[in-house]
């Protein structure tokens, strides 16, 4: 199927200011739709408070943390810490999007609403982790201080259009990471909590995805270039977390988030919905970006296939050792 989009301008014509103004009505429409379908929920209702015990400190009856106190799996524990620390940097995220999108009109209303909804995620995850004793609370706080002290600067802060493209994929990536962490956690309570968070993340993805669709309609060339740049250079916002690379490797093996998941469950659904590789009527720069994007996706699929093979071989080795 081919979508025909008029060639309405080059990146030099479509400044951030022009795009913000051109998309204002779309933002208002998507904001109203979001508010109709989004459901408020209470973080405290997802926390197993009766499992909680005092930690050492001000309380004489405090019980020191030990790994065996929680039913959460090792990969679940690792992923929960990464996911929570990613959520913890919300002040930096808010600063970035408020600076890019503004604090007035529909854009500003969305920025504040998004921040309020995202705030619930860090609250409920931290309360769950402490009440269930899933992680070492001292190390968690040390990680939080280290990560937040570094702050966060997006790779796409130079461009409002790049930022919209990034969050369209990143919100879905976060949803998938939360959902899979819940499935791999070994705790039904954790699974329900992260499923609730994943629902929010999906609605945020839909907002940005629909905004990106509108951007393709009014400015196809710069939007195609932005999508190309974001997909090729994509990094999760938690990449600055202490020990992130090791944690990411363990999450990949544990099937929380890896190349196959990134290709099949994050990039492809958004690209297919927008029919990015079928858009016609592009100028030279947009067409080049589209071609490069197609080549990259083919290469990523090949890399994911190699990862699948290595993962299957690893499972076979582990199964053989278990039978020995």
Binding residues for Fe cation: 87, 118, 121, 171, 201, 204
Asked if 134 and 65 touch (Cβ cutoff 8 Å), the reply is: no
- Which residues participate in the annotated binding site? 87, 118, 121, 171, 201, 204
Rounded to whole angstroms, how far apart are CA atoms 222 and 179? 33
Torsion of CA 147, 152, 155, 161, to 10 degrees: 140
Hey, is 56 helix, strand or coil? strand
Asked if 89 and 146 touch (Cβ cutoff 8 Å), the reply is: no
Asked if 225 and 286 touch (Cβ cutoff 8 Å), the reply is: yes
The angle formed by the CA atoms of residues 228, 205 and 87, to the nearest 5 degrees, is 100
DSSP 265: I
Read off the tokens for 234: 């994509």
């Amino acid at each position: 199927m081919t979508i025909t989009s008029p060639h309405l301008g080059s990146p030099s014509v479509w400044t951030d200011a022009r795009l913000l103004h051109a998309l204002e009505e779309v933002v208002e429409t998507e904001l109203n739709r979001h508010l109709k379908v989004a459901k408020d929920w209470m973080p405290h209702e997802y926390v197993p408070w009766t499992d909680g015990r005092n930690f050492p400190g001000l309380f004489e009856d405090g019980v020191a943390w030990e790994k065996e106190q929680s039913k959460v799996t090792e990969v679940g524990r690792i992923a929960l810490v990464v996911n929570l620390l990613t959520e913890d940097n919300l002040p930096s995220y808010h600063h970035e999007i408020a600076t890019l999108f503004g604090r007035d009109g529909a854009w500003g209303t969305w920025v504040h609403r998004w921040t309020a909804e995202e705030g619930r995620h860090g609250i409920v995850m931290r309360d769950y982790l402490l009440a269930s004793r899933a992680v070492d609370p001292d190390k968690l706080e040390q990680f939080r201080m280290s990560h937040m002290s570094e702050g966060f600067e997006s790779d796409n802060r130079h461009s409002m259009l790049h930022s919209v493209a990034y969050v369209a994929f990143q919100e879905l990536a976060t949803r998938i990471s939360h959902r899979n962490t819940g499935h791999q956690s070994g705790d039904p309570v954790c699974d329900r909590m992260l499923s609730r968070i994943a629902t929010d993340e999906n609605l945020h993805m839909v907002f940005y995805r629909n905004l990106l669709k509108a951007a393709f309609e009014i400015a196809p060339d710069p939007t195609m270039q932005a999508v190309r740049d974001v997909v090729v250079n994509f990094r999760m916002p938690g990449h600055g977390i202490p020990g992130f690379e090791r944690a990411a490797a363990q999450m990949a093996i544990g099937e929380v988030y890896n190349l196959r998941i990134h290709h099949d469950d994050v990039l492809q659904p958004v690209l297919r919905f927008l029919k990015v590789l079928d858009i016609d009527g592009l100028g030279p720069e947009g067409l080049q970006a589209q071609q490069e994007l197609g080549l990259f996706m083919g290469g990523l699929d090949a890399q994911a296939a190699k990862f699948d093979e290595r993962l299957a071989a690893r499972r076979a080795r582990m199964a053989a050792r278990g039978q020995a």
